[in-house]
């Protein structure tokens, strides 16, 4: 599975505090702690099985809220 542009950036600059902004207006800042491969918990022969990358971050702060939905970050 190949990294997308967000995961590539998080992997490359993982030791720095990063600011991520979405088109919806949501803007967060945080420091990536670990990057790992995971899945949706289904058996790999299930047609709905999906693998993806996940990033756990420390010190996440919401700088602006989304105009579409509110995002709750629990630390």
Structure tokens at 7: 């995961």
**Is the pLDDT at 73 greater than 70, yes or no?**
no
Distance of CA 50 to the CA centre of its chain: 16
Structure tokens at 21: 């902004």
User: What is the pTM (predicted TM-score) of this model?
Assistant: 0.55
Check residue 45 and give its pLDDT. Answer: 94
Write the pLDDT tens digit of every residue in 48-65. 999 988 888 887 888 887
**Is the pLDDT at 72 greater than 80, yes or no?**
no
Distance (Å, rounded) from C-alpha 34 to C-alpha 23?
Answer: 25
Write the pLDDT tens digit of every residue in 1-53. 777 887 888 788 878 888 888 888 889 898 888 888 899 999 999 999 999 88
3-state helix vs strand vs coil in the chain, percent to 5 = 10, 40, 50
């Amino acid at each position: 599975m190949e990294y997308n542009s967000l995961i590539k950036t998080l992997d490359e600059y993982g030791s720095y505090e990063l600011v991520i902004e979405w088109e919806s207006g949501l803007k967060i800042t945080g420091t990536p702690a670990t990057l790992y491969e995971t899945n949706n918990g289904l058996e790999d022969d299930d047609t709905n099985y999906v693998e993806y990358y996940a990033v756990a971050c420390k010190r996440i702060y919401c700088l602006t809220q989304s105009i579409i939905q509110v995002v709750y970050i629990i630390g």
